[in-house]
Structure 1
Amino acid sequence: MTGSTKKHVVFDVVGTCVGYGVWFDAIASQLGPRFKEYGIQPQLFAFAWMEAAEREYTYLSLSGRYKVFSEVQGALFYRMLYQAGVPEPRKFATEADLKVIMDAYDRLEMRPGVHEMFKKLRDAGFEIWALTAGDKRRVGGYFKAAALELPDTNLLSCDESAIGKPDPKAYEPALKMLGDGVKIFAAAHMWDVSAAVTVGFKGAYCSVWEKEPCTEIFGEMDVMADDFIEMADKIIATWG
Structure 2
Amino acid sequence: MTASCAADRGPARPPPARPRIRAIAFDAFAILDPRPIAALAEELSPGKGALLSEAWRTRQFEYTWLRIASGEYADFWQVTRDALVFAERLLSLDLGEEKRARLLGAYLDLGAWPDAAPALRSLQDAGFRLSFLSNFTPRMLDAAIESAGLGGLFEHVLSTDRARTYKPDPRAYRMALDAFHLEREEILFVPFAGWDAAGARWFGYPTFWVNRLGLPPEELGVTAGATGASLADLVELATAGP
TM-score range, shorter chain: 0.7 to 0.9
Q: 2:90 aligns with which of 79, 83, 97?
A: 83
With over 3 angstroms needed to count, the CA separation of the structure-2 counterparts of 1:45 and 1:238, relative to structure 1, is farther
- Percent of paired sites with the same residue: 19
State how far apart, in whole Å, the 1-side matches of 2:63 and 2:86 are. Answer: 12
Which 5+ residue runs of structure 1 have no aligned equivalent?
none
Contact 1:175 1:201 in 2 (8 A): no
- Counting only pairs closer than 5 Å after superposition, residues 214-225 of structure 1 correspond to structure 2 as 214=217, 216-217=219-220, 219-225=222-228
- Counting only pairs closer than 5 Å after superposition, residues 32-47 of structure 1 correspond to structure 2 as 32=46, 36=47, 40=48, 42-47=49-54
Shift of the alpha carbon at 1:52? 0.5
Match of 2:197 in 1: 193
State how far apart, in whole Å, the 1-side matches of 2:130 and 2:177 are. Answer: 13
SS in 2 for 1:130: strand
Match of 1:159 in 2: 161
Match of 1:8 in 2: 23
Which 5+ residue runs of structure 2 have no aligned equivalent?
1-19
Match of 1:51 in 2: 58
Shift of the alpha carbon at 1:217? 4.1
Shift of the alpha carbon at 1:137? 1.6
State how far apart, in whole Å, the 2-side matches of 1:197 and 1:156 are. Answer: 19
With over 3 angstroms needed to count, the CA separation of the structure-2 counterparts of 1:180 and 1:103, relative to structure 1, is closer
State how far apart, in whole Å, the 2-side matches of 1:229 and 1:220 are. Answer: 20
How many pairs align? 221
Structure 1's consecutive aligned runs of 4 or more residues displaced over 6 angstroms after TM superposition are none
Q: 1:233 aligns with which of 228, 231, 236?
A: 236
- Counting only pairs closer than 5 Å after superposition, residues 86-165 of structure 1 correspond to structure 2 as 86=92, 89=93, 92-150=94-152, 154-165=156-167
Give the CA RMSD over aligned residues.
2.2
With over 3 angstroms needed to count, the CA separation of the structure-2 counterparts of 1:195 and 1:238, relative to structure 1, is farther
Shift of the alpha carbon at 1:151? 6.3
Contact 1:143 1:150 in 2 (8 A): no
Query: Relative CO higher for 1 or 2, CA cutoff 8 Å, sep ≥ 6?
Result: 1
What amino acid does structure 2 have at the position aligned with 1:19?
Answer: D
Shift of the alpha carbon at 1:54? 1.1
Contact 1:175 1:200 in 2 (8 A): no
Q: 1:184 aligns with which of 181, 188, 203?
A: 188
Could you tell me the TM-score, scaled by structure 2's length? 0.83
What amino acid does structure 2 have at the position aligned with 1:10?
Answer: A
Could you tell me the TM-score, scaled by structure 1's length? 0.83
With over 3 angstroms needed to count, the CA separation of the structure-2 counterparts of 1:54 and 1:150, relative to structure 1, is farther
